[in-house]
Structure 1
Amino acid sequence: MSYRALAGKQTVLWSFTVAAGRLPVAMAPLAFVFLAKEASGDFARGAVLAAAYTVAEAVGAPFLGARLRNRPYRREIAVGLLASAVFFTGLAVLPDAPLSVTVIMAAAAGASGAAVPGALRAMVADLVPAKDLNSALSWESSLNMAVWAASPALVASAATWWSATVPFYTAAASATVAAGCLFALPEKTGRPETGVRLKAVARQLTAAWPIYLTSAAAMYLLATVELSLPALLEQRELPAAASGPLLTGFALASIAGGLVYGLRTWPGSPERHSTIFLLATVAAAASAAAVPVLGGLAVVLLAAGMFQAVVLIARNLSLQRALPADLHAVGYSLQYAGSGVGYGISAGATGVLLNWTNPTATILITAGITFLLTAGSILGRHRPMAQETERVSNGSLRRL
């Protein structure tokens, strides 16, 4: 197993499509802040727009993902990307529109492309041999992390040197390019198993809830670390500006960790990997709350970034194994929604905790909650999900 299988023409094009389709999502939150500041001088307006975008994305992902069970992937994804491009363009053209209008456009932009990440992840199974799927998913995860790491700098530079509308035109162009590239990739059409009723399908999807919980827990912890870091540095009497380089290091460590994880098949199952490395991430985050010096903080954040990468990739492999092929896109979309919910809840809780207590306590409380969520996912796996899938495919759930 290696990355050589990803050097073919189709997989290179798929990689470019993943990056181009992901760029608008990664740019959006900060772009909304800059747009609101330039248009009205109100940072709160930007936060509202970012929240509308994120919530709509989380809500839309499972519904649009479900459409892919029996529809052509390329057409569905392309329509979603082009619709997002239209709304991003609308936000750039009408930055001074009433708040209600911009909120609707932001939500529509988020919901339209919500199924794209999960669908593109499901498509790669047809592009590489089964033995190289681990490498492909590791590469996809590292690619996403790289886009997320680069996006804030792109948005800030464009908004500062030109205009806050430039990131939205860029996002629209990137989504349009991704939509065009899709039609150079092989078609994939969902083919649901005949005879399996809707309740049986729902039971298959909900049987994977420990994986969704792991996704939510990982993002819950990540949000608190990101949002609490400047305050933690100030509490340590360290420069808050150091949060930028520290988070960049975290992102680069995540990219490196993901690439290393995809180089080979590691002992144990992906489920075990995600659990062990999520606990390791919790330990690293808790250590970050206690480390008093900048160098030590950098070391534990680098370790947390590498551990986090393994969690994100292992959960994708777990879901790939837990669900039949026709439900991969739906499952990935549910997982994506769970991640968004986890991040959103954590962002709100972090704000409350920072007002109620200090940054050290905030991170430790979040680490404790993440540990409990991880324990819940472990207990939820007492009944292997693979057996649940087998039961459905053998027809034992068709009576429902």
Structure 2
Amino acid sequence: MAAGYLEILRARHAARLLTGTLVGRLPNATAAIAVVLFVRAEGGTYSFAGALAAVYGVANAVGQPLLGRLVDLHGQPRVQLPAAIVSGLAMAGFALAGVASPVLAYAAMIVAGLFTPPLEGGLRALWPVVLRRDAQVPTAYALDAVAQEVMFTVGPLLVTACVALWSARVALVVINVIGVLGALSVVVSPPSRAWRSGPREAHWLGALRSPGLLALLGAFLFVGIALGSITVAAVSYADGHGGDGVYGWLMAALGLGALVGGTAYGVRQWPGAPERRLRVLVGLLAVCYLPLMLMPGAVAMVLLTVLAGVFLAPCIACAFIIVDRHAPGGTVTEAFSWLVTTFTVGASVGTGLAGPVVQAGGALWGFAVPGAAGAVSLLVLLATGGVLAAPAGGAVVAPSPENDPNRAVEPRFSSGDRA
């Protein structure tokens, strides 16, 4: 099983780029918990802490595609490193100033979120350049999705360890210094310095002029809603089945399921078009959310939550391939950044939607939300099947074995074609 992943990591610069990207994204992955812990340590309220985290999330969602477009226009080092430094300085300023001035605190969150570097999109644009064969790119995307689950598990543990050893203020600063070092490791690498986006047609919509990409984003908005709603429903369930400890196990189980599913998905080459495969994966994702409504005892519920997470990482990995196929020429980083933004917005909407649902009907109806959202995502993919079946017009047609064991001619990975 590990052979495919080891082959990816043995490629020159691959391990460095993957590690640097994950380390560089630590501030983003841990922002919510780090901000909440710091605000509470400073004597602020949970409402204020939550509001600051929400402002950071919204600013991040706005900034990712904008910075992604700048990366496509000007290259990775000129955008990624300055953005990481500005974001890190904003968080450091927030840590030093504290919460005495709400205006300054909100301003720091806006700047930190807006300038979070689009390292995710940058890495996915680099995979076709770093790897020897196009057929390896889907495995790299799966490895990427699996690594994200590890980061979102390890990141909060690192924050809490820093808080326990020093303080919440030190944790906030240390995490952001580490993030800047991760971004620096990526942008000084030869692939990042040499990378140039393909020729692009000037258009104010940028990547969003692709109908296929818009269809995919519409579907993944609801996948994000499903994931966000689970986190709220799980709190309500845990309140009646053991408290915070059970909630922690449920969230860890969701990540474990995604880790297992993504690892298994990436070890083989899958036949058929990725657009059709995504419909199957999203359908399975929606079906696996439904057993959560049974709400058994804590141990059984943890196992059901593992099952609920199994198809998440495969869905994300498959979506990466589709983004690459449908992104207009010269917009690949921006296109990947739009996927990140859409997923983030969807998770926020899911969190906000599940709250009133749980309040009105309890955890049972809260767990109905992810199944319903997964079903809507599948309906979007089915309704836009014709659009998704036609890759971006700018793609280069070349023989590739990635999706067709018979070596049929198909659109090549767009980000693999350079000016």
Q: Is this a same-fold pair by TM over 0.5?
A: yes
Gaps of 5+ in 2: 398-419
Q: Which whole-Å CA distance do the structure 2 matches of 1:386 and 1:140 have between them?
A: 26
Shift of 1:261: 1.3
In structure 2, C-alpha distance between the alignment counterparts of 1:268 and 1:137, rounded to whole Å: 17
Q: What is the CA RMSD across the aligned residues, in angstroms? A: 2.3
Deviates more, 1:291-300 or 1:70-79: 291-300
1:250 maps to 2:254: yes
Shift of 1:18: 1.2
Pairing 1:60-209 to 2, within 5 Å after superposition: 60-129=63-132, 130-181=134-185, 182-186=187-191, 187-193=193-199, 196-198=201-203, 201=206, 204-209=209-214
Hey, what does 2:393 align to over in structure 1? Answer: 389
- When normalised by structure 1's length, the TM-score is 0.91
How much does 1:171 deviate? 2.1
Deviation at 1:8, TM superposition (A): 3.4
Which residue in the other structure is 2:234 paired with? 229
Residue of structure 2 equivalent to 1:306: 310
Percent of residue pairs identical: 19
String of CA shifts for 1:315-345, please: whole Å, max 9, x gaps.
Answer: 1111112224522101101111101110111
Q: Which residue of 2 aligns with 1:326?
A: 330
Q: What letter matches 2:221 in structure 1?
A: A
Is the contact between residue 142 and residue 263 of structure 2 (CA under 8 Å) also seen in structure 1? Answer: yes
Q: Which amino acid aligns with 1:380?
A: T
Q: Hey, what does 1:57 align to over in structure 2?
A: 60
Alpha-carbon separation, structure 2, partners of 1:285 and 1:265 = 26
Distance 1:354 1:266, change over 3 A: same
Give the CA deviation at 1:192.
4.7
Assess, with a 3 A threshold, how the Cα gap between structure 1 residues 96 and 384 changes in structure 2: closer, same or farther: closer
Which of 258, 261, 275 is equivalent to 2:279? 275
Cα distance in 2 between the residues matched to 1:83 and 1:245: 35
Q: Shift of the alpha carbon at 1:190?
A: 3.7
Shift of 1:180: 2.2
After superposition, the Cα gap between the structure-2 partners of 1:324 and 1:70, relative to the gap in structure 1 and judged at 3 Å, is: same
- Pairwise CA distance, 1:314: 0.7
- The residue type equivalent to 2:313 in the other structure is A
Residue 39 of structure 1 is aligned with which of 35, 38, 42? 42
Deviations 1:332-367 (A, max 9, x none): 011111011101111111122222221111221342
For the structure 1 residues 392 and 313, does the alpha-carbon distance in structure 2 shift closer, same or farther, using more than 3 Å as the test?
Answer: closer
SS of the counterpart of 1:165? helix
Amino acid at match of 1:284: C
Q: SS at the partner of 1:383?
A: helix
3-state SS of 1:326 partner: coil
| Distance 1:78-1:385 versus aligned 2 partners, 3 A rule | farther
Which whole-Å CA distance do the structure 1 matches of 2:146 and 2:254 have between them? Answer: 12
Q: CA deviation at 1:371?
A: 1.1
Q: Which residue in the other structure is 2:4 paired with?
A: 2
Contact kept, 8 Å, 1:204 with 1:392, in 2: the verdict is: no
Larger deviation: 264-273 or 126-135?
A: 264-273
Shift of 1:145: 1.1
Residues 162 and 203 (structure 1 numbering): CA distance in 2 closer, same or farther, change over 3 Å?
closer
What is the identity, as a one-letter code, of the residue corresponding to 1:389?
A: G
Q: Deviations over 1:38-75 (max 9, x none)?
A: 11231111101100110001011111111122212122
Contact 2:328 2:394 in 1 (8 A): no
Q: Which of the residues 211, 220, 227 maps onto 1:215?
A: 220
The residue type paired with residue 212 of structure 1 is L
Report the residue type matching 1:225 in the other structure: I
In 2, Cα distance between equivalents of 1:269 and 1:96: 51
C-alpha distance 264-369 of structure 1, shift in aligned 2 (>3 A)? closer
More helix by share: 1
Give runs of aligned pairs for residues 293-372 of structure 1, distance below 5 A: 293-324=297-328, 326-372=330-376
Residue in 1 aligned with 2:414?
Answer: none
Are the counterparts in 1 of residues 207 and 335 from structure 2 also a CA contact under 8 Å?
Answer: no
Question: Taking structure 1 as reference, are residues 268 and 300 closer, same or farther at Cα in structure 2, changes over 3 Å only?
Answer: farther
1:333 corresponds to which letter in structure 2? S
Cα distance in structure 1, aligned partners of 2:239 and 2:43: 30
- Report the CA distance between 1:201 and its aligned residue: 4.7
For the Cα contact (< 8 Å) 2:36–2:49, is it kept in 1? yes
Change (3 A) 1:90 1:21: same
Q: Once structures 1 and 2 are overlaid, which stretch shifts more, 347-356 or 203-212? A: 203-212
1:389–1:53 Cα change, 3 Å: same
**Structure 1 residues 390 and 172, CA gap change in structure 2 (3 angstroms):** closer
Deviations 1:264-294 (A, max 9, x none): 1123332223222222222222211214233
